[in-house]
């Protein structure tokens, strides 16, 4: 990898300048909605009629919203550059490391 001079990063959490030669930590992940469905199998008392009505209601609900809205809600990949201090904050928040 060719080393480029003058490339600097800002910590995405605190805004601290991460100069060349200082450690930079990348926090990458994704948040997405694990929709647990309508629980049709667990709900045998529910008539197929009411299930169909529920599905139609959901479809109407979804049609009202823009595609972008739905994308954001369903899937949010992210990539953050962090300084050491903020990496430690993330560790603590996620309880990956106790101190
Ligand atoms: Zn930071």
84 pLDDT more than 70: yes
Domain contains 26: yes
Is residue 79 included in any domain, yes or no? Answer: yes
**Is it the case that residue 65 has pLDDT exceeding 90?**
no
Rounded Cα distance between 97 and 90, Å, is: 9
Q: State the average pLDDT over residues 64-88.
A: 80
Ligand 1 mean position to 88 CA, how many Å?
9
Whether the per-residue pLDDT at 76 is higher than 70: the answer is yes
pLDDT of residue 98: 53
Question: How far does the centroid of ligand 1 lie from the alpha carbon of residue 78, in Å?
Answer: 16
30-38 long-range contacts, CB within 8 A, separation 24+: 30/75, 30/76, 30/77, 30/78, 31/75, 31/76, 31/78, 32/74, 32/75, 32/76, 33/73, 33/74, 33/75
Tell me how far the alpha carbon of residue 89 lies from the centroid of ligand 1, in angstroms: 9
Residues of the domain holding 87: 9-94
Is residue 57 situated within a structural domain?
yes
- Integer-rounded Cα Rg, in Å, for the chain is 22
The pLDDT of residue 1: 43
Q: How many Å lie between the centroid of ligand 1 and the Cα of residue 57?
A: 44
The pLDDT of residue 56 is 80
Residue 4 lies in a domain: no
Count structural domains, the chain: 1
The pLDDT confidence band at residue 81, using thresholds 50, 70 and 90, is very high
């Amino acid at each position: 990898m060719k080393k480029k001079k003058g490339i600097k990063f800002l910590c995405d959490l605190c805004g601290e300048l991460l100069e060349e030669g200082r450690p930079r930590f990348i926090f990458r992940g994704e948040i997405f909605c694990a929709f647990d469905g309508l629980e049709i199998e667990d709900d045998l008392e529910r008539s197929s009629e009411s299930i169909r009505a529920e599905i139609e209601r959901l479809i109407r609900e979804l049609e009202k919203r823009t595609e972008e809205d739905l994308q954001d809600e369903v899937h949010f990949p992210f990539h953050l550059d962090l300084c050491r201090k903020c990496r430690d904050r993330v560790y603590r928040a996620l309880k990956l490391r106790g101190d």
